[in-house]
A and B are shown apart, each in its own frame.
Chain A
């Protein structure tokens, strides 16, 4: 097979409109032939959010490679470079954590499980006695399995009773969930990946899919190579491969100034309304809020968008016309919107375009508010993050009562007096010591959170006891008081769900190294040691195995929008990939939205301020199954370029790395393909600053700086781009701001003022 770090999307298998995407099985084995493999174990890839079905190759008790599953609806056998080369090498890396560590005299030293867990329990009990459950915070991941999140959610919400639970999903998919709740009443992706073969226009909003979800992009490239290709519209401040595809297909590339997405969305919406490119009957029957929407977007003429966003007014008109006149439009949205200014309002703007044209729930028509991580959807579903379990509404007493019955605890135990605490606020409480125990699982906030110097100060200080469970001694684990060695993918069993509601079962292929335990076992050990019980004195967490945990979750999801009923381990083993709810390719085919006041997941928010809509206000909308057309006026970003900091700093991803490189950095091929950080400047800015391609530069913001070689690249003039994966001198989050979207509370990584200083000697 070709070197897929170079041929990222692999060979084309052209697909005509309306036909099935052909199979193409990708395999990579480390030093063994396919016929030498002892066993193939069913799983799905966790190195991006796409959820590609695969099998893990096992030889002599070690994971030695992966192979795509031809029958899988998500990937039809394909795998991307991260999945192929990054899925297994980390597991046998010599620097795996194999024993628990505790801090002694300022140093982390090896210990046994009883000692490590004993320290945690001692601190946990003391804090509960002294201050109660609000002294505890949990910060989890988008990398664990559903069973682990659900167990964590029950421990936190029903055992301890703390509202301070969130995941790093706050950094990647909080806006996806928030925008779906605001528009449709509950989380859940309306569309299906199958819509790629059915659509005749594809809109990618702030979504550099060629680098973030390579297999999904291969699927789109195959449509572009086939007969009746869709037109592609790209909204991105960089000239990405998506922008190239837009040029090839007669689409449009809109490159809005960083931080101005909402102004552009309002202009596109205004164009649809002005040309009456809407399904008036459908809008009348299935939405509320048209007149308010019309009033809000009225000032945003194409010329106004041109002034605010720095785009061509005619390009806005052309893009709107493509949306308005195509028969079937599929849209995807990702971090260019989610991690930028006015994130939720801009993402709702995409939902609005689809609602105006009634383009939901039909083949080729839909929205994918994408996820950034493989299991992010499950963090949201189970309530291990800032949501209530099973897409329930924390303000709805009947929903809380349901959970209390299910868990057999007093409803007062379940924190529901205010929205669950978001990650940025959890770290704020940890900063003051108001949270005295912070438990971090499978994530590396010392590198991934904004304003890194502050995060390191919080984790390293004495005001808060920090527990970290991970595969490696990450930058975060190195600052912890107790470090717990965890089993990774392939070393434990569990399910997870991708961005088109496809559930996969990932089975255990090998044993974890040393004393490492699965995250599920670690949570169960804590629940046992704390003696967490229900109202009758029985153990609160009644399950021991992943399958038992999964079955308990199915009960919690029953009757809710994310209903897993009928999807069992046996069914997943038999079929490989199954969408929830069972037998549902697309949500809202009947145009019936989960917006009735008694059923919805959320009463909604003021998109401009984040103020919550009350139950009475929600009832007064009489939405009752109709979707909300919600909008807000554009406001300038929190930090605009100034004389001292004349450029805008924006961060993002590269195709060969994932997150803070915990796994991908340990793959030789992926490491060699993208070993070091860099910063990208436009040709005009580089010329003005006298910077040559490859020259080392220092990028400075009011909060910090990074040093890396410059690349003259496709970023728009006035902006500076850096990948966020790298720790150390080139760490992008040294520069970013502590600020977040008012509704989704997702931090804004994409807009910070900066200046670039050329360095000599390189």
Chain B
């Protein structure tokens, strides 16, 4: 099952990328209390997903891919400034979370095929929380957009 290991590795890496990016956005927009606290909270969820996945990583191994840059997305290291910057940062988080979400979808399919109930339960649980992360990005984008686009000095 060489490619399942690839995707287990991708899930682990993508969750880490998302967690790192969430923390970068939290710090970059720390003056917005809800962005700071919610992004920090959601980063904790991604940390938890990696912990849940750890035993599976031990079982299947993490494939050492030849060209990881072809597989993985980069973290958002440098958050943008201002209200329009926040919009763009939330869009990046949305993209990264969507990668996580579809990665869990792929893994859940693999777990079904293998009848690996442990992995299936992990994939379902984590994916449900990833969807909640995505919902928050969408909600916050909708709230911030009009003021950022029309009135911001």
Contact = CB atoms under 8 A, between A and B. Distances in A.
A635 interface: yes
A611 B152 CA distance: 24
Interface in A597-644: 606, 608-612, 635, 638
Given A419-B143, A606-B135, A738 B151 contact: no
A739 B33 contact: yes
A609 B135 contact: yes
B142 A432 contact: no
Interface residues of A, number: 30
B41 A635 contact: yes
A429 B147 contact: yes
A658 interface: no
Contacts of B150: 131-132, 134
Interface centre among B32, B34, B138, B150 (most CB of A within 10 A): B34
A609 B143 CA distance: 14
Interface string A523-544: 0000000000000000000000
A731 to B, nearest CB: 20
Given A738-B33, A740-B33, A742-B38, A606 B136 contact: yes
Interface string A424-457: 1100110011110000000000000000000000
Contacts of B133: 609
Interface residue range, chain B: 20 to 34
B83 interface: yes
B84 to A, nearest CB: 12
Contacts of A612: 135, 139
Contacts of A434: 83, 147, 151-153
A400 to B, nearest CB: 16
Given A424-B33, A428-B32, A609 B136 contact: yes
B42 interface: yes
Contacts of B147: 134, 429, 434
A475 to B, nearest CB: 23
A611 B136 contact: yes
Interface string B110-153: 00000000000000000000001101101100110111001111
Contacts of B88: none
A432 B153 CA distance: 8
B153 A418 contact: no
Contacts of B83: 432, 434
Nearest to A131: B151
B37 interface: yes
Contacts of B41: 608-609, 635
Nearest to B38: A609
A425 B83 CA distance: 12
A529 to B, nearest CB: 23
Nearest to B144: A418
A611 B135 contact: yes
A418 B37 contact: no
Contact of A606 (B34, B132, B146, B152): B132
A428 B142 CA distance: 17
Given A417-B146, A606-B132, A635-B41, A611 B138 contact: yes
Given A608-B132, A609-B38, A433 B143 contact: no
A432 B152 contact: yes
28 contacts: A131-B151, A134-B146, A134-B147, A134-B150, A134-B151, A163-B146, A418-B143, A418-B145, A418-B146, A419-B143, A432-B83, A432-B153, A434-B151, A434-B152, A435-B151, A606-B136, A609-B38, A609-B133, A610-B136, A611-B132, A611-B139, A612-B135, A612-B139, A635-B41, A739-B33, A739-B34, A739-B37, A740-B34
Given A134-B146, A429-B147, 18 more contacts: A134-B151, A418-B142, A418-B143, A419-B143, A425-B143, A432-B83, A432-B153, A434-B147, A434-B152, A609-B41, A610-B38, A610-B136, A611-B138, A612-B135, A737-B33, A739-B34, A740-B34, A742-B34
